[in-house]
Chains A and B, each alone.
Chain A
Amino acid sequence: MTRLLMTGASAAALIAMAFTAEAQERGGTMTYGRYADSLFLDPVLNDANVDIWILSNLYDTLLLPTEDGQGVQAGLATDWTVAEDGLSVTLTMRDGIMFSDGSPITTEDVVWSLDRARNPENGIWNFLLASVASVEAIDDKTVTIRLSQTDPSILPALTVFNSAIMPKAAFEAAAGATDAEKAQAFSEAPIGSGPFVLESWERGASMHLVRNEHYWDMGEDGQPLPYLDGVTFEVIPDDATRILRLQSGEIDGAELIPFARVAELQNTPGIQMELFPSTRVEYITLNVRPEIEGEVNPLSDPKVREAMNYATNKDAIIQTVTFGVGTPQTTYMSSATPLAAGDGPLFPYDLARAQELMAESGYPDGFSTTLLVLAGNQDEIGIGTAVQQMWSQIGIDLELQQVDNATRTEEYRNGTFDMRVAAWTNDIADPGQITSYFAYSPTIDALHSGWKNEEVDQLFEASQSETDLAKRTEQYARIQEIFNATGPTIPLYETPYPVALQERVHGFVQIPLGNNIFRSVWLDQ
């Protein structure tokens, strides 16, 4: 009986799924509430998530990230082959593809776009294509990217926003003498080949995108994507107002819902409270230099750091700061990052162990230190207040210093801070980026902490050209083992991206790298 019922239920579910899968409706404009406006819509010269996370709607790349953010799939290129020696990638362009102005996308545009993206003079993302030696158009369908060394992350790099394909002729015709000036003029009315086109932009208030009539991909109904006529971004910086506008039905979706409001919205009829898997990790960075501004630094003692890690009750912080939404970290990178290792939470709370370690350290009687938190940021202030209380149990007298972002960045870059709260999100589906900043000392002294480990540096350098996945996995296992045990951080938690949507919104995704994908969104009319 039970089995029969279950079979019946699953059949009904299947029918329902099949039904909804065919029920895409076309038309309409989705209004999406963002916490901040974009700054600069150039794929190569932008610097911030407010741009990165929406650029893929305007500009298309040769390859696209998969929805789980781990792999690659066809984009403007339909086929790609990495040569046997790993020193080149050959891509075949899709037939009949066009920019939003109707002009054809040529291999010349591809060569020009990738050359611009990898030019070390241009922007801060060219490191993603650092292994590229040259880009050549073989014919009007084929492009070959030659590498100066093998690069296991070259395919994911071709999905990242900065390697978007732009129209060479239109860009060069834009006003201005330098690349930066042309980029400014061009990005006021950008021409790309993403599913949408920028129609109007009232800075600080709203941005309106309309569907790109020349977009190449097909919807489930056999017609060209996107389903929507357009997307409107409304800039609503205040969290409470953003949620109110969603509740009043004035907007269809709202990003960055504060964790404190997630449970409430999960129980609000007519609202879908989505928690999209992300690569975001929250942690505390410790300055581990022997001296900071001439004073002896207790944080340089590995036993002290280990004690602090054990004295930090991550589950309690996850409850109080993320209201149970976050999960403990098993390694310094998010579990959604390829090659992430680790089994079980790092440094599970153990006060007795922490007190023992402190007694064995060079500071058995404790010490005073400071933690930089972002002024007005509830999460960071909550973390600061929690660890202040937790570390008092092992004799650490912690002073919280609330500062604004630019102030903190300066102390961070100068290496004059004691500790700071920080968060990280990957831009590429590869462990190389986060590891380069966190663990590989030549990039930024391992999060400006002064931490350095020869073995990690060597392993990282080797892994950057290691194309044998098994070997690279081993290298990364060892890097993570060393960094997790002795590194300059206190890992706190991973959190998803909290997005609230009206019930009538279907098909929206924010992928783990943060990109907001509107191309398959459709609305109940």
Chain B
Amino acid sequence: MSTPEYLARRLLQLIPTLIAILVIVFALVRLLPGDPASAILGDRALDADVERINREYGLDRPVPVQFGIFVRQVLTGDLGNSTSLKVPVAQLIAERLPITMLLTLMAALISVALAVPLAFVAALRRDRLADSAIRGAFQVGLSMPVFYLGLILLTVFGAKLRWFPVGGSGDGFLDLLYHLVLPAVTLALSLAAVLMRNLRAAIIDVVDADYVTFARSKGLRGGLILLRHVLRNALISTLALFGLSIGTLLGGAVVTETVFAIPGAGRLMVDSITGRDYPVVQSLTLALAVLVSVTFLLTDLLQAWLDPRIAR
């Protein structure tokens, strides 16, 4: 099968997945106790006010009708208004999601930048001091809760050393990047630990494989062997793990965005769930699902490029 065919098949597979997500999220958010009116009005809600709000957001209509409206909104791109923030959902997602995507991307890049070289060092110096030190350090990073790690980084590099701002999102793109460094590192460390361990094991397997011994016997230079033969083959399984971790990374962004006061999609999601903001929860879940699916697709394509047997 050629790559375009493979791509087309994978894109078609996306459609039922997204439809399933559409139905599940619509149902789930309504199965939660409480509703937008009770979240908006809180303890002082009077019956008349609850009725007024339900009428205002069409929540007094039969559930199948509400579902029909939701599907139409998704198809037309007009996602309605947030019940808690009163602004268009599409505008909210357009404001918040890119920040989370940037944070996730930065975290992914940092974790790869940390994991790949250190995995090489650890694998090639197997069971020696460098290996133990790297694995030991990552073990600490991996076992620390994200919010705690974030607070430590904030205290040390923000409040004490003043190298980075203590949370917030800054003004303009460059300032935003600067503000996202500490949260991205916070998110990256646990992923880097997982990737490093996986890649280290894979490199150890590959280094001893026959084709590497063969390449060496052909007289190829060490660096070229590491890059073309060892890394390429070792990366296949690590890449799959990396793709799967993007979902986890987006989940971790929820906590990180709260600790670092970043107005991203993770915080919007938490606020919308506690606020029973049905329109935002529905559309944002769908948007995140699309994002994760596209990431999976990209990693699969990369894997297929690294190992053409996969696309077959």
* A residues in contact with B41, CB < 8 Å: 47, 124, 409
* A residues in contact with B268, CB < 8 Å: 204
* B residues in contact with A413, CB < 8 Å: 38, 45, 50
Interface string of A112-124 (1 = CB under 8 A from B): 0000000001001
Which residues B251-277 have CB closer than 8 A to chain A?
258-263, 267-268, 271, 274-276
Stretch of A239-247, A260-268, A307-315, A472-480 on the interface side:
A239-247
Is B227 an interface residue when CB atoms closer than 8 A count as contact? no
Are the CB atoms of B39 and A406 closer together than 8 Å?
Answer: yes
B147 to nearest A CB, angstroms? 8
Most chain-A CB neighbours within 10 Å: which of B40, B81, B151, B275? B40
Are the CB atoms of B39 and A204 closer together than 8 Å?
Answer: no
Is B202 an interface residue when CB atoms closer than 8 A count as contact? no
Is B155 an interface residue when CB atoms closer than 8 A count as contact? yes
* B residues in contact with A242, CB < 8 Å: 261
| CB contact under 8 A between A409 and B42, given known A203-B263, A234-B261, A236-B167 | yes
Among A124, A241, A250, A411, contact of B33 (Cβ-Cβ < 8 Å): A411
Is B208 an interface residue when CB atoms closer than 8 A count as contact? no
- Give the nearest-CB partner of B167 in chain A: A241
| CB contact under 8 A between A245 and B167, given known A236-B261, A410-B35 | yes
A63 to nearest B CB, angstroms? 24
- Give the nearest-CB partner of A376 in chain B: B274
Are the CB atoms of B32 and A40 closer together than 8 Å?
Answer: no
Are the CB atoms of A422 and B43 closer together than 8 Å?
Answer: yes
- Give the nearest-CB partner of A33 in chain B: B261
With A and B bound together, what is the CA distance between A242 and B258 in angstroms? 11
With A and B bound together, what is the CA distance between A408 and B44 in angstroms? 12
Counting contact residues on chain A (CB < 8 A from B), the size range is 35 or more
Is A237 an interface residue when CB atoms closer than 8 A count as contact? yes
Among A121, A203, A410, A443, contact of B38 (Cβ-Cβ < 8 Å): A410
* A residues in contact with B259, CB < 8 Å: 238, 240-241
* B residues in contact with A124, CB < 8 Å: 41, 44-46, 49
- Give the nearest-CB partner of A285 in chain B: B43
- Give the nearest-CB partner of A433 in chain B: B44
With A and B bound together, what is the CA distance between A206 and B175 in angstroms? 15
Among A39, A184, A250, contact of B84 (Cβ-Cβ < 8 Å): A39
Is A20 an interface residue when CB atoms closer than 8 A count as contact? no
* B residues in contact with A406, CB < 8 Å: 32-35, 38-39, 274-276
- Give the nearest-CB partner of B154 in chain A: A244
Which residues A99-122 have CB closer than 8 A to chain B?
121
With A and B bound together, what is the CA distance between A121 and B258 in angstroms? 36
With A and B bound together, what is the CA distance between A405 and B159 in angstroms? 33
* A residues in contact with B45, CB < 8 Å: 124, 409, 413
Are the CB atoms of A409 and B38 closer together than 8 Å?
Answer: yes
Are the CB atoms of A250 and B92 closer together than 8 Å?
Answer: no
- Give the nearest-CB partner of B44 in chain A: A437
Interface string of B116-132 (1 = CB under 8 A from A): 00000000000000000
Is A235 an interface residue when CB atoms closer than 8 A count as contact? yes
| CB contact under 8 A between A404 and B274, given known A238-B259, A443-B46 | yes
Is A444 an interface residue when CB atoms closer than 8 A count as contact? yes
A8 to nearest B CB, angstroms? 42
* A residues in contact with B35, CB < 8 Å: 406, 410
Are the CB atoms of B260 and A237 closer together than 8 Å?
Answer: no
A189 to nearest B CB, angstroms? 13
Are the CB atoms of A39 and B85 closer together than 8 Å?
Answer: yes
Is A248 an interface residue when CB atoms closer than 8 A count as contact? yes
Is B95 an interface residue when CB atoms closer than 8 A count as contact? yes
Which residues A140-191 have CB closer than 8 A to chain B?
180, 184
Is B232 an interface residue when CB atoms closer than 8 A count as contact? no
| 25 residue pairs A–B, Cβ–Cβ below 8 Å | A202-B95, A203-B87, A204-B271, A206-B168, A234-B261, A235-B261, A236-B167, A238-B167, A238-B259, A241-B166, A241-B167, A247-B159, A250-B165, A250-B168, A403-B33, A404-B274, A406-B33, A406-B39, A406-B276, A407-B32, A409-B42, A409-B45, A410-B38, A422-B43, A444-B46
